[in-house]
Chains A and B, each alone.
Chain A
Amino acid sequence: MTATQTAIALWTLVLKEIKRFTRIWPQTLLPPSITMSMYFIIFGSLIGSRIGEMDGFTYMDFIVPGLIMMAVITNSYSNVASSFFSNKFQRSVEEMMVSPMPNWVILTGFVLGGMARGLGVGLIVTLVSLFFTRLNVAHPLLTVGVVVLTAALFSIGGFINALLANKFDDVSIVPTFVLTPLTYLGGVFYSITLLPPLWQGVSLLNPILYMVNVFRHGFLGVSDIPVGWALAAILTFIVILYSIALWMLERGKGIRS
Chain B
Amino acid sequence: MAEPALSIRGLTKVYGNGFHALKGIDLDVAQGDFFALLGPNGAGKSTTLGVVCSLVQKTAGKVEIFGIDIDRDFARAKYHLGVVPQEFNFNQFEKVIDIVLAQAGYYGMPRREALPRAEQLLTDLGLWDKRNGSARMLSGGMKRRLMIARALMHRPRLLILDEPTAGVDIELRRSMWEYMRRINREEGTTIILTTHYLEEAESLCRQVAIIDHGNIVRNTSVRELLAELDTETFLLDLARPVETLPHLAGFEVSRVEPAQLAVMVHRGQRLNDLFAALSKEGIQVVSMRNRANRLEEMFVSMVEQGSDSAEREASSLEARA
Binding site for B on A (CB under 8 A): 1-2, 4-6, 8-9, 11-13, 16, 19, 23, 86-87, 90-92, 94-102, 252, 256-257
Distance in angstroms between the alpha carbons of A97 and B85 in the assembled complex = 13
Given contacts A94-B85, A98-B81, A256-B57, contact A11 B105 (CB under 8 A): yes
Q: Which residues of A contact B55 (CB under 8 A)?
A: 94, 97-98, 256-257
Contact count band on B: 20 to 34
CB–CB B91/A9 < 8 A: no
Q: Which residues of B contact A12 (CB under 8 A)?
A: 101-102, 105-106
Distance in angstroms between the alpha carbons of A16 and B83 in the assembled complex = 21
> Interface stretch among B72-80, B233-241, B276-284?
B72-80
CB–CB A100/B89 < 8 A: no
CB–CB B105/A9 < 8 A: yes
Q: Which residues of A contact B91 (CB under 8 A)?
A: 86-87, 90, 92
Q: Which residues of A contact B88 (CB under 8 A)?
A: 91
Given contacts A8-B109, A16-B98, A16-B102, contact A95 B75 (CB under 8 A): no
| B54 touches A (CB below 8 Å) | yes
| B298 touches A (CB below 8 Å) | no
Distance in angstroms between the alpha carbons of A257 and B15 in the assembled complex = 7
Q: How distant is A8 from chain B, measured CB to nearest CB, in Å?
A: 5
**Additional A-B contacts beyond A4-B108, A98-B55, A100-B108 (9; CB < 8 A):** A12-B105, A87-B91, A90-B92, A91-B89, A94-B53, A94-B89, A98-B83, A256-B55, A257-B15
Mask, B119-136, CB within 8 Å of A = 1, is 000000000000000000
Given contacts A9-B108, A99-B106, contact A1 B89 (CB under 8 A): no
Task: Give the residue of B85, B90, B98, B110 whose beta carbon is less than 8 angstroms from that of A8.
Answer: B110
Binding site for A on B (CB under 8 A): 15, 50, 53-57, 74-76, 78-79, 81, 83, 85, 87-93, 98, 101-103, 105-110, 150
Distance in angstroms between the alpha carbons of A98 and B106 in the assembled complex = 9
Q: List 27 A-B contacts (CB under 8 A).
A: A8-B109, A8-B110, A9-B106, A9-B108, A13-B105, A13-B106, A16-B98, A90-B90, A90-B91, A90-B92, A91-B85, A92-B89, A92-B90, A94-B55, A97-B54, A98-B81, A99-B106, A99-B107, A100-B74, A100-B75, A100-B76, A100-B107, A100-B108, A101-B106, A252-B57, A256-B55, A257-B15
Name the residue among A4, A96, A98 with the largest chain B CB count within 10 angstroms.
Answer: A98
Q: Which residues of B contact A6 (CB under 8 A)?
A: 108
Q: How distant is B148 from chain A, measured CB to nearest CB, in Å?
A: 14
Distance in angstroms between the alpha carbons of A91 and B92 in the assembled complex = 10
CB–CB B56/A8 < 8 A: no
Q: Which residues of A contact B98 (CB under 8 A)?
A: 16, 19
Task: Give the residue of A8, A16, A98 whose beta carbon is less than 8 angstroms from that of B78.
Answer: A98
Task: Give the residue of A4, A95, A252, A257 whose beta carbon is less than 8 angstroms from that of B106.
Answer: A95
Distance in angstroms between the alpha carbons of A19 and B57 in the assembled complex = 32
